[in-house]
A and B are shown apart, each in its own frame.
Chain A
Amino acid sequence: MANKIIQTARFGEVSVDEDRIINFIEPILGFSDSARYVILDHAEDSPFKWLQSADDPELAFVVTNPKLFDIDYEFTLSDETAEHLALHSADDALVMTIVNIPQEDPSKMTTNLLGPIVVNQASRKALQVVLHDSGYSTKTRLIPDEVLQQQPKGASSVSSPASADKGE
């Protein structure tokens, strides 16, 4: 099993099993120079992963599974899309959505449910699917305001004393 060295701006040189490289059969919209990506873990227990381009060291996305945030998220792929991805069983599909993290307040992160990434884990073909007419948004909050506001003041000092400064 051959390993491949991938240059990345954020993580330096990363060595990955060639089998872990996924190939976008169409580019992620707006990034036509990049077709090969790897999914990198961020940290243990983190709900996020990195979708790192193997073709462009600078290009990476934070991705997540919206279900980890109790977001009701279901869609049906069109027959054409499933065929395009050579996807014959739903069990082979890995779905992730791209995350936007605003600089001003990272807790107000959103995810793009309208354009999920679907990976066929059997063939490692991937595609950013556009769910026309689904009613999903490109900017769904991962933690809604109501939930954020439930946080009692000073709760951060209980859970993580070292990083309590949230930088208002």
Chain B
Amino acid sequence: MLVLTRKTGQKIIIANEIEVTILETKGDSVKIGIEAPKQITIYREEIFEEIKKSNRLATQDAETARLNKAIEAVNLIKTSPPAKEG
């Protein structure tokens, strides 16, 4: 891993087209500004991992039989009028 020390306001340039600026440091957090071409997507790592995991689980979950059961549950909601008890 390349390790660089920067001061607030200083930048690093990646591959001639991505600019990373250290905007502010406060306690143990660092505010970073990133300027990159629009086709480059930037994620917070934990969100990236969470969505990946959710996607992976979703395709395992995508069974026709299970979906049919889910639809039964939906239809049940639709056919029974809400808030009518006794």
- CB distance A26 to B57 under 8 Å? no
Task: Map CB proximity to A onto B38-66 as digits: 1 under 8 Å, 0 otherwise.
Answer: 11010110011011111111110111101
- Summarize A's interface: helix, strand, loop or mixed: loop
A47 touches B74 (CB 8 A): yes
Q: A98 near B73 (CB under 8 angstroms)?
A: no
Across-interface contacts of B57 in A (CB, < 8 A): 100
Range for the number of chain B residues in contact with chain A: 35 or more
Q: Is the CB of B72 closer than 8 A to any CB of chain A?
A: yes
Residues of B near A89 (CB, < 8 A) are none
- From A43, A47, A80, A130, contact of B48 by CB (8 A): A130
A41 to B20 Cα, complex, angstroms = 44
Chain A CB within 8 A of B2 CB: no
With A31-B55, A61-B55, A150-B82 in contact, do A100 and B67 touch (Cβ < 8 Å)?
no
B61 touches A158 (CB 8 A): no
Decide yes or no whether B13 CB sits under 8 A from chain A: no
A148–B44 Cα distance when bound, in Å, is: 35
> B69: CB under 8 A from chain A?
yes
Q: Is the CB of B83 within 8 A of A29?
A: no
Residue interface bits A23-47, CB-to-B below 8 A is 1, else 0: 0011011110000000000110011
Question: Bound state CA distance, A28 and B53, in angstroms?
Answer: 11
User: Are A114's CB and B61's CB within 8 A?
Assistant: no
List the A side residues contacting B80 at CB < 8 Å.
150-152, 155, 158-159
CB<8 Å pairs between A and B, sample of 25: A28-B55, A29-B52, A30-B56, A31-B55, A50-B62, A61-B59, A80-B38, A98-B58, A101-B63, A101-B69, A106-B66, A109-B73, A128-B51, A132-B47, A138-B50, A138-B51, A138-B54, A143-B77, A150-B82, A150-B85, A151-B76, A158-B79, A159-B75, A160-B72, A166-B69
> Chain B interface (Cβ within 8 Å of chain A)?
38-39, 41, 43-44, 47-48, 50-59, 61-64, 66-67, 69-77, 79-80, 82-83, 85
Leading 9 A-B pairs by shortest Cβ distance: A107-B73, A106-B69, A30-B52, A115-B51, A106-B70, A138-B54, A80-B38, A159-B79, A101-B61
